[in-house]
Amino acid sequence: MDLSTYFSEPCVPNGIKGLKVLDIGSVTENDCWMAHEKVGEKGNVVAICASDDQLESALKKIEDQEGFENLQFTVGSSEDLDDCGLQMRSADMVISNGVMHTGENQGTILQQCYEVLHDGGEVYFADIFCDRRIPKEAKASKVPGLDKLSGVAYIEDFKRVCRNVGFTDPRVLERSVIPITDYKMKEVLGNATFYRIKWRLFKVDSLETLCEDYGQIAVYNGSCPGHESSYPLDAHHFLETGKPMLVCGNSASMVSETWLKKYFTVTGSRNVHYGLFPC
């Protein structure tokens, strides 16, 4: 089963002009090139290449061209960013596309992402996940193509890994079903459903494990490029331009204590608690 088609769409947010962005493992796609355009000349993009050959190929694309001063490449592993020569607590954002779908290395990669981000930073990425843990039979099966899915992580297990690392409130931005049409694969996988999910993980100390109500209100000012009429914080929070929206404490922190703060105004504080927020 060819999963590459599900990562052909770049996973780069709008409104990142001037930010320092780290792209882990997407250099063969379009992500780092799009990010370089969006951050502008005052921003910076560092892309991790998996091999010297990949590095050479990337450098050839920008050889003798102007306007790529804000794009650098380095060889290394997403599981050891310090070894790539990256300074910890230096990035505003980490992006990736199809790097973290196997459960075995998620904790290590996420921990590295957490360390390289400064406070208020974000991991913005897309990958494949499953609605249940893959049966052991699938991992031992020799059905062609099944090896591509046998290591995919269960969504709730991934959330637990996020929280253990420090990304307390992982948010789903988009979710789409990946159809399994091969009969032999379905026979082994049973009713397991696979999704391509786009996630947002914010590094904010004030985030809580549940959405709590403090009576806070957020207003989006409509200035983020590509989101003039509304801004999708996640799949359940669409803030219309100029319209006050009652939000939980976590959502208030996400738009007021991160790189998003220039696009939002939040009123209220956490001085009074009104119980669990009615999500």
In a domain, 149, yes or no: yes
Residue that terminates a domain, selected from 148, 172, 202: 202
Instruction: Identify whether residues 142 and 192 lie together within a single domain.
Output: yes
Collapsing DSSP states into helix, strand and coil, what is residue 17? coil
Residue that terminates a domain, selected from 179, 202, 225: 202
Residue that terminates a domain, selected from 178, 202, 226: 202
- The CA–CA distances, whole Å, from 199 to 69, 100, 155, 183, 221 equal 29, 11, 11, 30, 23
Residue 264 and residue 231: Cα distance in Å, rounded?
10
Residue 2 Ramachandran class (φ > 0 left, ψ -120 to 50 alpha, else beta):
beta
Instruction: Identify whether residues 117 and 246 lie together within a single domain.
Output: no
The pTM of this model reads 0.93
In a domain, 62, yes or no: yes
- The CA–CA distances, whole Å, from 72 to 30, 62, 134, 176, 219 equal 15, 10, 38, 32, 36
Instruction: Identify whether residues 93 and 220 lie together within a single domain.
Output: no
Looking at residue 230, which CATH number applies to its domain?
A: 3.40.5.100
Main-chain dihedrals φ then ψ at residue 90, nearest 5 degrees: -120, -15
Helix axes 106-116, 155-165, angle to 10 degrees: 40
Instruction: Identify whether residues 131 and 84 lie together within a single domain.
Output: yes
Instruction: Identify whether residues 135 and 196 lie together within a single domain.
Output: yes
Instruction: Identify whether residues 220 and 197 lie together within a single domain.
Output: no
In a domain, 49, yes or no: yes
Question: Which residues have CB under 8 Å from 185's CB, separation 6+?
Answer: 1, 143, 145, 146, 149
**Closest CA relative to residue 216, chosen from 138, 270, 162:** 270
Instruction: Count Cβ atoms below 10 Å from residue 70 Cβ, excluding itself.
Output: 18
In a domain, 278, yes or no: no
Tens of pLDDT, residue by residue, the chain (279 residues): 667 777 778 899 999 999 999 999 764 567 998 999 999 999 999 999 888 888 888 888 887 777 788 898 888 888 888 777 778 888 999 999 988 766 568 899 999 999 999 999 999 999 999 999 988 888 788 888 888 888 899 999 999 999 999 999 999 999 999 999 889 999 999 899 999 999 999 999 999 999 999 999 999 999 999 999 999 999 999 999 999 999 999 999 999 999 999 999 999 999 999 999 998
Cα dihedral 105, 109, 114, 117, rounded to 10, equals -170
Looking at residue 137, which CATH number applies to its domain?
A: 3.40.50.150
Instruction: Identify whether residues 198 and 227 lie together within a single domain.
Output: no
pLDDT of residue 26: 61
> Cβ distance 15 to 220 under 8 Å?
no
Instruction: Count Cβ atoms below 10 Å from residue 79 Cβ, excluding itself.
Output: 14
Instruction: Identify whether residues 191 and 238 lie together within a single domain.
Output: no
Instruction: Identify whether residues 225 and 87 lie together within a single domain.
Output: no
In a domain, 207, yes or no: no
pLDDT of residue 29: 60
Q: Which domain covers residue 231, as residue numbers?
A: 216-267
Q: Which residues pair with 249 in a beta bridge?
A: none
In a domain, 276, yes or no: no
pLDDT of residue 28: 56
Instruction: Identify whether residues 240 and 153 lie together within a single domain.
Output: no
Number of H helices, E strands in the chain: 7, 13
> Cβ distance 244 to 219 under 8 Å?
yes
Instruction: Identify whether residues 61 and 133 lie together within a single domain.
Output: yes
The number of domains in the chain is: 2
pLDDT of residue 103: 55
Main-chain dihedrals φ then ψ at residue 85, nearest 5 degrees: 85, 15
Instruction: Identify whether residues 121 and 164 lie together within a single domain.
Output: yes
